[in-house]
Structures are given as C-alpha cells and as structure tokens.
Amino acid sequence: MDWNIWWPLLVAMGIVFTVIPIAGLYLTFIERKLAAWIQNRSGPNRVGPAGLFQAVADGIKLFIKEQVVPNHVNKPIYLTAPMIGLICAMLGIAVVPFGPTKTETVEGFRTIIAPGLDIGLLFLLAVSSLSVYGIILGGWASNNKYSLYGAIRSCAQFISYEIPLGLSVIGVVAAAGTLNIETIVQSQGEGITGWNIWWQPLAGLIFFVAALAETNRLPFDLAECEQELVGGFHTEYAGIKFVLFFLAEYTHIGTVSFLTVLLFFGGWHFPGLTGELDASIGGYALRWLVLLTKVALVIGLIMQLRWTLPRFRFDQLMNLAWKGLIPMGVANLLGLVIVLTLGLPHWWMAIVSVVTIFSIGFASVLIHDGARSKRVSTLVDTGNDVAAVGESH
C-alpha cells in the first residue's frame, strides 16, 4: 500500500465526513434565524449565547429519541431508504473540490476526495440522480398514502428536472473541453470576464432552478408539502431515520451551492486572485475564503427563496420544466453549437441567452392570455346559456 496516496485521501474524507454533519446542524440554525428575521421574530435564542447551541441540542434530542418503527411498514426497505439518500449525497460530494486545488499534480493533500477524475461532473450527475431511489423506496415502504403520493411526485419531479439540468451543463463542458470540475474552474481563471455566468447567463439560470428542484426545496418541495401530504415521503419517519433524510437534503444543498460557484462563478478565482494558485499558505487561505464566501451567498439565496416564494402547484411545476426550462435549454444549446461552429466570440452566447429569455417569456404571456381569454369566453357562453334557459322557463 502506497501511504503517499492513501493519507491525502483519508484526510480529505475525514474533513468532509466531520464537517458535513456539523454543517447540516448549523445550517438549520442559520435558516431558522433567517426565517425569523424575514418574519420579524426572534428565532432560537435560548440555548447558549444567541441560541448557538440550539442546533447541538436538537441533534442530541433526535439521536436519543425512541426509534419507533410502525407495524405496517416494509421494515427492510423502510430502514434502508434513508441510507440510500445519504450515501448518494456523500458519493456526489467526493468529486467536488471544497477548496483551491491544482490540476497539474495529484501528489500530497488536495481539497477533494477524488482528485483528477476526468468524468467528475458526469459522475456527480449520475450519482445525485440515484438519490431519488431513497425517497421512492421510503415512500413506498411506509405503506402510507401520503408517503406514496410524495414519492410519486418526487419521481416525476426528478425525471423532469434532470433534463434541463443536463442541458445547462453541456455549454460549460463544451467551453472547457472537459468533464473535470477542477479543470473547468481553472478555465475561468483569466479574470472576472472569464466566468461562465457572463456569457452563459441562461445556462446558469436553468442550472440553478433545476438544481433547486432536485433538492426538494421550496418552492419545489412537492414531495413533502405539509398542507397536502402531512410530511410526504417521510411521514412515517422519526428520530435518527429522519435525520438521515434531513442530512442528505442539506448535503445536496451544499453540493448544489458549490457546483453553482465552481461551474458559473469562477470558483476560487476573484479579481486580483486569478491565474495560477499561490503556493503560500496566505494565497491558499484567500482563495479558500473567496470560494466559501461565494458558496455562503448561494446557500443564503436558497434559504431566502424558501421564505419568499409560494409553493408551486404540481401542474405548474411540470409546466415550468417541460414548457419553460427544457425549451430554453435546447435553444441555449443550439446557440452554443452555432457560436462554436462559426468560431464566434463567446459573448454571442450572452446575446442568445437574452433573446431566448425574452422570446420564451413573450410566448408564455401570449399562451397565458389566450388560455385566459378562452376561459372567460367559456364562462360568458355558459352564463348566456343559463340565462336563456331561465327565460324559456
């Protein structure tokens, strides 16, 4: 066994597996504080200074709760489902660099569990799509109608939003010429104008919306909406079993936030911190601070959206994917093909994105107005028929 290969891997795994549970607990605390601020209330403030130990208290409470397993569930699958979701989330984050790293060498410690993986992005998309099995099996094994409805909704939602998610990533892959996430970040290191978000804003928008739907977060939490399904797919889960579902969700949020920054916002690059990595500790620390600040802003946006936007109806959820994001993703892909084939400057993609957004928006308004006019005319005709029947009597 070559210890020079194994010790960096073990250190990176130790960091990730230690930080993720703690981050999951404190992300709930931050979200509760943010929700309280938005709703003009105090939020958790009793346990510890400013309520900082509330997350620890909640974690201890969930771990020592009685592990109730209902008699009507399919016990083996019921107990396995939460682990599937968490395992898929952990496998996905293995190819995500959680700090600045070089692509030229794989020796020594690197801030990624699986460095230099040429199909890293493809691996991540494949593994993350498997996490839906945990939700489906958990809902089905619960033998509960609410749980089953939530699982079916989740299946339809995942399948629908995987398509625009893949379409949005193709442009980034084509520009960098690789599926290696580290190389994609390095390709944006020429300056702030090299960030993919400036010349592929539509792809960035599609990616963020589709990834938000993949995490089952509001306004896309149709798999567990309390007003309709009690708790959805995890209605029958409590204690540590619920914690595993909960931890998998927040792990996905972290992965989505890292990917959004790494693929579209330059990763650890920033004006004045572009080009090759500075080998000094200070240089790495600054890059790490830049990356984590960007990720924190994305996580904050995801949390704010939960307490800002109302939940979609399920037909609206499907229409957004099939009638909105997928057509825009195809249009963005066609524009990319034209730009790359003709050898045009990348800035032409920004023009394509703006034109596509306005075109799809205008078409949606026309379709909505046409449907509304049809409904109004139907109501008028129905009223006239009723009036005519009344006069005849």
Render 263-278 in DSSP notation, one character per residue: HHS-TT-BTTB-SSPP
> What six digits make up the tokens of 29?
């605390």
Mean pLDDT of 174-179: 84
- pTM for this prediction: 0.85
pLDDT score for 23: 84
Round to whole Å and give the CA distance between 230 and 150. 10
> What is the total count of domains within the chain?
1
Burial letters for 193-216: b for 16+ Cβ neighbours within 10 Å, e otherwise?
Answer: ebbbbbbbbbbbbbbbbbbbbbbb
Domain assignment of residue 191, yes or no = yes
Parent domain of 279:
65-312
Domain assignment of residue 337, yes or no = no
Ranges 154-158, 216-220, 231-235, most confident: 154-158
Round to whole Å and give the CA distance between 207 and 353. 13
Domain assignment of residue 22, yes or no = no
pLDDT score for 297: 93
Q: What is the pLDDT of residues 296-345, one digit of tens each?
A: 999 989 888 888 888 888 888 888 888 888 888 888 888 888 888 888 88
Domain assignment of residue 335, yes or no = no
Q: What is the pLDDT of residues 267-304, one digit of tens each?
A: 888 877 766 666 667 777 888 888 999 999 999 898 88
Domain assignment of residue 317, yes or no = no
Please, are residues 37 and 43 in contact by the beta-carbon 8 Å criterion? yes
Domain assignment of residue 325, yes or no = no
Q: Is the pLDDT of residue 386 over 70?
A: no
Low-confidence winner among 43-52, 105-114, 129-138, 217-226 (lowest mean pLDDT): 105-114
Domain assignment of residue 29, yes or no = no
Residue 262 identity: L
Domain assignment of residue 280, yes or no = yes
Residue 221 vs residue 370, higher pLDDT: 221
> What six digits make up the tokens of 33?
């504080």
Q: Is the pLDDT of residue 91 over 60?
A: yes
